[in-house]
Each structure stands twice: as C-alpha cells, then as structure tokens.
Structure 1
Amino acid sequence: MRLAPATIAALYQAACLAELDALKPGNVHAYAAGHRMAVSDFVASAAASAPALAGAGTGVGARVRDAVAATFAAVGQNTNLGILLLCAPLAVAAERASTVAAVLAGLEPADAQGVFEAIRLANPGGLGQAARHDVAAPAPDSLRAAMEEAAPRDRIARAYVDGFGDLFAVGLPALAGARGQGLDPAWCTTAVHLAYLQAFPDSHVARKHGAERAESVRAQAVAALGGLDLRTRPVAPLLALDAAWKAAGINPGTSADFTVATLFADALASAGARLADAARVA
C-alpha cells in the first residue's frame, strides 16, 4: 500500500512530538531541557522539516538535504540530522510501497550528494575527519559505500548497511513489549529509548567524548535502568540520571534519533506500509 505524502508528513511529525513527551535520560524532553536546547526547538524543527521529509517523488538525499535546510531556516541549529537520516528511507519506502532494504539497495549518486550537503550544513558535533569519504570532500557515487566506511563508528551509518537492523531487532520489539505491559504511549516511548541506551554505545556520545566514555554510559544505563519497572512511572530515578548526564555534557542523541525512527516506522506500518519482508518482521 502506497502512503500519501501528506499522511507520511503527519505521521513523521507525530513521531517527533511523541518522542518529546517521553522522559529520556540525557536528551531534551518535556520534563527537562538541556544542551542549550528546548522542547520548542524540536517542535519547530518537526513542523519545518515534515514537508521536505515527505516530499512527493523525491529520493533519500533530497529529503534529508531539504529538511535540514528547512530546519536551519526555522531554528538556526542542528536538531534533527540523525532523525532525518533514519526517517528519510522509511518515508521513501512508505510512498513507494517498497521495503527499506529495497530503498537502500536503490540509492543513487544524487542521494550521496544530498546527504553530504545535509551533513555539511548541519555540521554535527564531534564529526572529525575520515580518511575516505570525508564529508568535506566531494560526495562519492555510492552513499552505501560511504556509510559502510562510517558504520563501525556510527550506528546511523550502520543502519544504511544492515537494513535498519537495530530498529527491527531492538526498537520495534521494545515498543511491542511495552505495549504488552499496558504502558501508556509516553512510557512506551521511554521504554524504546532505554532499550537503545542499553543495547549499544551511543554514537553521539562516542563522537563527543570517545568510545570508552560511550561504553561507560551504556554500562551505567544498564546498571541504573535494568531493574526499573516502567509501570510504576519511575520519574525520580530517571530524572536523577538525566540531570547527572546533562551536567556532564552527555547527550545520547543517537538513541533519541532511533526512538523517533521506531515510532515513525511503527506508525507507517500501522497505516499500511510494508517496510520489511515477512521473514525480517518475524
């Protein structure tokens, strides 16, 4: 089933807003701002980027580039590059009635050009330099090759290589499990975020603070969050961890990006999109 661009835009914006409603330690959310950003910045970013993210007939690269440009015009800073990199292939798949794997297999040189332009515009913190496929250089013909180069150090790049493996193996099962426990939507979103925090070192933390610190943050999340029962709505311990991480400049942004993508993918599937083949979903 092909989804209309207007539907895709609405579901994307709803996913962005739902993620903000959830208590996500270290990130910006309705309970607490942080990292010199407020919830209002992300609300404005979602509204500004939605039309380009759902641009009818456009490819992954154009959607990411145009949505980043629209975001900067609205809020003047990078609030959503990771979200857009993850959500653009989902949006294209939904519009084409295709799978994410098929969209990634069909990426063209224009997609690499668009994504490289978007990354240069967003200038995410801690990006550094790469020996091959550096974003400061001209874009390669193959976006997939560039993502393969970055995949060992960046979880979003890895998603382009393994067909969004983390989303299907971590995020969507966590969301289904939370719903099975009877959690309300906001706490279901918290459950997804905590699942990503504990599953792997956050790439954004690694870029800013190094791989060792990112692993220590993951281990701290496991120790602090593993025994929590979200059915009790444990606001106090989550806010304590949130405050400690923000005081230390820790922002697990990649986990938040994957959380938005998980909510978006779930909403698209509920609307009739076929994002993965039956074997992968099972």
Structure 2
Amino acid sequence: MTSEAEGAFHMVDVSSLTDGPRRATLRTSDGVPIEARYEPGAGGTTGTAIVVAHGFTGSVDRPSVRRAAGVFARHAAVVTFSFRGHGRSGGRSTVGDREVLDLAAAVAWARELGHARVVTVGFSMGGSVVLRHAALHGSGGARTDAVAAVSAPARWYYRGTPAMRRVHWLITRPAGRLVGRFGLRTRIHDRDWDPVPLSPVEAVPLIAPTPLLVVHGDRDPYFPLDHPRALADAADGAAELWLVPGMGHAENAAEDALLGRIADWLSAP
C-alpha cells in the first residue's frame, strides 16, 4: 500500500460549469472517488488557487475546514476536498500514504478550472501530505507552486505524546477503527504500509525550489517543537519557519489572523 509511482488522475461528475462555487467528484489515479468543493473567492477563476488538505478525521464540510476556507477565500480561490475514507469520499484512509493521490487530483482540478498558479496548505496529516506531494509531483498538472505545512509531523510512528498514543490505538486496533468509522466518520484501512512511504522529513529536501512554509504551535499536544524544527532543518535554509505562541494543533487551533497570514504568504508571487 504505497503512493509512489502512480499514474495520472482524472475527474468525473463535475457539477456547475459557471464561474461560481461548485462541487465535483474527482477520481484519483488509483480509482478512488474524492468529493471536492471550489469557491472562486477573491482570486476569481484566473488568480491563485489555494488547495486545502484537512487533518485526520476532518472533511470538506467540517466547521473548522469551512472556517479556514472562508478566510483563505478573502485572498484567493479555494479548493477543499475530503481525503479518502473521510466525508463522502470513497475508499479508506491510509493515514498519509495514498492521500498524496487525493491531493494531486484536487490540485489538477484547480488547474483545469483555469488557475495557472496553484498552492497547497495542509494541517496535521494533511501537512504531511502536502510535503510529500510537493516532493513527488515537482512537474506536470498536479504540481504545486508553493506549500505550507501546519502542525505536521516530521516522522512516522511517533507515539511520544498521549494524544498520539490515542491516534495509534484508533488506527491499529480493530476496536479503534470501529470508533473511527462510527464515532468519527472516518474509515481506516486495516493493512500496514508496505513499503513504508517517504516520510515528511525525507520529502522536504526534494521540495526546493518550490517555496516552503512550516507553521507550528508551541502548545501542540500531538507533535512537540522538534518536529517543525526537523522539517525546517531538512530544508537547509530553503524553508520559512513560524513557531506560533499559544497555538495548539491544526485547523481547529489556527486563529483567523494566522490563517490570513498563511494565505498572504501563499498568494505572494
């Protein structure tokens, strides 16, 4: 179960062909249907488009994702989507592995809609995905022009905090996956990674010259500050690092002012 060396994406069931908001079902290169939503926002249909990759157990319609999308839409067009196994998307979550293909389909859709400049921002699991996507899709229609990772892990299998030990129970235990499915509306794959995918910190050196921003709260209960620092160090001076005082974890903790700063950074040519 790995996302490496996959083929091209394609898109199906696009709703409205107007210049306004629309929904679509995207199909990934491995055949998974992904629900997606587009809002022209301040960027219209020709300016920058920001593609938002939510955290684990999120979805396109979760309030925290909609809030972030609303802030980003003041600066640019916005594409949101649900990762596989989340929301109304098909498949099952691989917790950061094949989700790269979901993001690639969303980025390619933004370009299909007419955006020459497409950027990505990811939160937590989505942060790991945007990093790996930028490393693995450096050219072609699924490439990103800038990437921001918020509250992202640097390495796999981290269990150093109580919050992450709970996440590992959810992912690895049958009872945990039942809780995920029925309590959190997240369908989780029951197979181990084989092979283990490229980790976020291994992906970072492959991202340049694409601009990279790493954002992390100093009160993150999931990943301590050695994670963002390791990501920034791996970029060898090519990444910008923002350590945010008082911030917790991911999209739920990111205040509107911070989201606006991220949008400004992503929208800058």
TM-score by length of 1: 0.27
**TM-score (norm. length: structure 2):** 0.28
The structure where strand makes up a greater share of residues is 2
Structure scoring higher RCO (CA < 8 A, sep ≥ 6) equals: 1
